[in-house]
Structure 1
Amino acid sequence: MSEYLRAGLRLVPPAVGWQHTIVAADVVLGDHGAVTGYSAAIGRPTLLATFPDHDVAPGSVIEALGKSAPHVDFRQSLHEQLHRAIGDYEPDQFHTVRELTSSIPDESARTLRQVFYQLMDLPEPDRAAVVRPFDPSELTIEDGIACAALVSAELSSDASVHVTRWPADVTSHHSALHEAADIHLVVRSDHPQRDLLTHAAILTHQNPPNDMHADQALAEIMANYPACRLAVVANSERTGVLRHRNGDTATAEVVDGPGDVALAGSAIHAWLASGRPWPTLPDKIVITHGPFRTSIQLSVTVPMVT
């Protein structure tokens, strides 16, 4: 799963954590496994990505799931299908799944404890059986960080840029995205895949060591990666320094909205691609990405000419 983790996937452990996840989910996309069945049984909008009918027992809860849950059409937009599953969900959609999952809802703790003590030939405690809630702190997610992205950045005004990002680790390098003129590759400098690093138009460096100045980190990026046109050194997630290969430099700070300074790199890339020179960059630029709006403050400098 390493490529997908580098694309931003958050991976839930297989044994503990799926319970917390389906309780919190807005929509579940699954297969013919038990977790997908439980998701539908507790009332979560549920879709099926795959469903091998020959592996499903007739009359089972999973067969009922296959008959009541929509199946994903991978020729269509997954984004739209997920939202449709939420919008079209009816409370009784998985009525049969829920009935087959348990004939004694809310009584399983009492019934199971009774069976366990009978099997051990011990007297059952006279207090009520405890149903312990799932503690969020017990869920330890393997949290992926997006390390490489194919980015489309389009100027919508003199101080506004629309950015769309696709995870480069799981997007074909021969896809039509690469053929589009406005697509550029943004990669973190610690990415393990060398071909992505050597083809990146923008390279980002996260939190340089205390003994390394931002100027040194920027210089090393430019020296080590000749294809890089713009380097970004992030002092934190919301502040950083950007330098073009010709020496033009700017500092950036995210002042409003979610986002990171790498967004500023893509905005500047779009600015320069439109034929506008570096010194004319605005003091503040608004970037829309997905449903978000991020405001970034820029402070531009140009190299001294002697």
Structure 2
Amino acid sequence: MGENKRAVLFAARSQNALHRLLDTLPVFAGDDRVHRCFTLVPGSEFSADALRALERAGGRVLPWAEAVGRTFALILAASPKGDLQALHGPRVLLPHGAGFNKSVPGEGTEDSASGLDPAHLLLPDGTPLATRCLLSHPGQIARLAPAGPAVTARATVVGDPLLERFLESQDHRDRYRAALGTGARTLVVLFSTWGPESLIGRRPGLPAELAAALPHDEYQLALVLHPNERARRGTLDLDEYLEPARRAGLVLPAAHEEWASVAVAADVLITDHGSAALYPAALDRPLLGAYDGGRELLPGTPMAGLLAHVPRLAPDLPGAQAASLVAAALRDHRPGSSRALTEPAFAEQGQALDRLRETVYDLLDLAPPAHPVLPRLLPDPAPAPLAPAAFAVRVEDDGGVLRVLRHPAHLVPPAPAHHVAAEVGTAHRRFTRGAGLLHRRAGGHPGAPTEPADEWTLRILADHPGGRRSAAVVVSATHCLLRPRSGPLLSLRITPHGAERRAPVVDPVPVLSAVHAALLDGEAVTRLRLVCAVGTYAVEVRTARATAAEAATAV
């Protein structure tokens, strides 16, 4: 390596620590004088997942045995744990979360914050482990006092690089919601840390309970899960545990970056004592606390302060009541209140990468690049799972407007259903056998034989005898065909209602449920006009006997 080159080692002990180190990369962007390499610090039960994350990052990975045999111009780590003293070069410690809120029982000093524990910040001879301890807020310097004045003297407040990405990406919120297919729905994001006191450790049924209780057309649900919990459970076990909620549409974003995009897109947060929720709270999202107390959360920390001042989701609260608290959190939120609660965690907002670059380039004895350092925008999240293929549907008359409330049929709905609506060819037979509305989308099964809608609806009703059923075809977002058991094939035209003439079109399937319910209530079959509310939008639907051309629509 040339004499002007500087080797910088990113030393990661866990997947979460690696992600925090990756957030610092923009400070070195465009600088060919810096040679970046990574190593896995041994000793963590989550090291296998950290190694896979290192490989995904695409950086040059040095085996630990090679790393300890070399000298580096700078060593960056986001955890003081492990055998960091074996590495040679100036060591810089960054936080691996926001606020130093938790103590991990059985590790280091009792009741000491993970990341600030003197047992890890001091070497056996009493000298500091790190050349610099980088902090996100001046209030954290006093919390270093138990480690002694030598450690405190090496503390530097630079802010939080991950928060910079949140701040920079907040204008992309609509883009992230479009990627998730959120639409006008309220996005509720659960935040769970890892360990026995975590949200899913204590309330494992909450994701499925909320998925059952929140009307599908009004709410979307996501779960942000700590990387350590993913590693502890393993992919298969996690998938099986979350399968009912995932089949209901639960979004489970990836542990690196994507979770942050979903958090930016959120409307309301439900969080335990993990620090991840502090980031969207700094964007002023409403919160509900779901931490039931224990040994891990330290008093006087940012998360303790936040949880003390937000509404609480009590344990064992039925899903329907939990859903009402979500609505209340949105309704009662005071602008600026969540952001104010995060002020003890974050300083240097908008300047953190500049402060970080000044610090590390001083240690490298290099002049920083002339170009400005820019936080990297968060990526678009992956699309949400497909909507359930079968819904338990309740239709309520709200002053002449038929309000459609749909809940996943495979979960226990909060109230008795009017009927089940099931997609033929996609839903399980146990739901199609008892469905009142059997539907499919024209062209929805590419490669399958087609038949005219008139014949398909007759055949489906014949295949499902008994009961007052309807069979329907979604031709487009504004046109459907529906045949009640005892009536002709009807053509349905859907338009926005009243002042919402320019509103986005809604999913026509719940509109079909409204028409099916109206027909069962004795409404005129061929000349029906009604207003239907789906989520936050109202549409008008008119029925007429299908023309010969409409009846011939290929299904």
Q: What displacement does 1:2 show?
A: 4.5
Q: What displacement does 1:184 show?
A: 0.8
Q: What displacement does 1:199 show?
A: 1.2
Equivalent residue for 2:538, pick from 276, 288, 293: 293
- The answer for the alignment partner of 1:248 in structure 2 is 488
Q: What displacement does 1:63 show?
A: 1.9
**Partners in 2 of 1:95 and 1:152 — Cα distance?**
38
Going from structure 1 to structure 2, the CA distance change for 1:30 and 1:238 (only over 3 Å counts) comes to farther
Contact 2:287/2:338, CA 8 A, preserved across alignment = no
Going from structure 1 to structure 2, the CA distance change for 1:127 and 1:46 (only over 3 Å counts) comes to same
Q: Report whether the alignment pairs 1:153 with 2:395.
A: yes
Structure 1 residues 43-62: aligned runs within 5 Å = 43-62=284-303
Q: What displacement does 1:161 show?
A: 4.8
Q: What displacement does 1:54 show?
A: 2.7
Contact 1:255/1:296, CA 8 A, preserved across alignment = yes
- The answer for the alignment partner of 1:127 in structure 2 is 371
AA at the equivalent of 2:262: T
How many residue pairs get aligned? The number is 291
Going from structure 1 to structure 2, the CA distance change for 1:52 and 1:248 (only over 3 Å counts) comes to farther
Q: What displacement does 1:109 show?
A: 0.6
- The answer for the alignment partner of 1:172 in structure 2 is 412
Contact 1:4/1:170, CA 8 A, preserved across alignment = no
Structure 1 residues 90-239: aligned runs within 5 Å = 90=334, 93-94=337-338, 97-117=341-361, 123-134=367-378, 138-154=380-396, 160-169=400-409, 171-172=411-412, 177-178=416-417, 183-208=418-443, 211-226=450-465, 229-239=469-479
**Partners in 2 of 1:243 and 1:123 — Cα distance?**
75
AA at the equivalent of 2:393: V
Quick check: 232-241 or 2-11, which moved more?
Answer: 2-11
Question: Aligned with 2:416: secondary structure?
Answer: helix
Q: Report whether the alignment pairs 1:273 with 2:273.
A: no
**Partners in 2 of 1:193 and 1:26 — Cα distance?**
32
Q: Which has the higher contact order (CA 8 A, sep 6+)?
A: 1
Contact 1:5/1:145, CA 8 A, preserved across alignment = no
Q: TM-score scaled to structure 2, two decimals? A: 0.46
Contact 2:404/2:513, CA 8 A, preserved across alignment = no
Equivalent residue for 1:23, pick from 259, 264, 270: 264
Going from structure 1 to structure 2, the CA distance change for 1:10 and 1:110 (only over 3 Å counts) comes to same
- Structure 1 residues 199-241: Cα deviation after superposition (integer angstroms, max 9, x where no partner): 1111110123584322343244224333561111111232121
- Structure with max Cα Rg: 2
**Partners in 1 of 2:337 and 2:398 — Cα distance?**
43
Runs of 4+ in structure 1 deviating by more than 6 angstroms, as ranges, are: none
Question: Aligned with 1:99: secondary structure?
Answer: coil
Q: Report whether the alignment pairs 1:65 with 2:306.
A: yes
Quick check: 49-58 or 232-241, which moved more?
Answer: 49-58
Going from structure 1 to structure 2, the CA distance change for 1:262 and 1:43 (only over 3 Å counts) comes to closer
Where structure 2 has 5 or more consecutive residues not aligned to the other structure, the ranges are 1-241, 498-504, 548-555
- Structure 1 residues 158-199: Cα deviation after superposition (integer angstroms, max 9, x where no partner): xx55133231335327x7515xxxx11111113342211211
Percent identity (aligned): 24
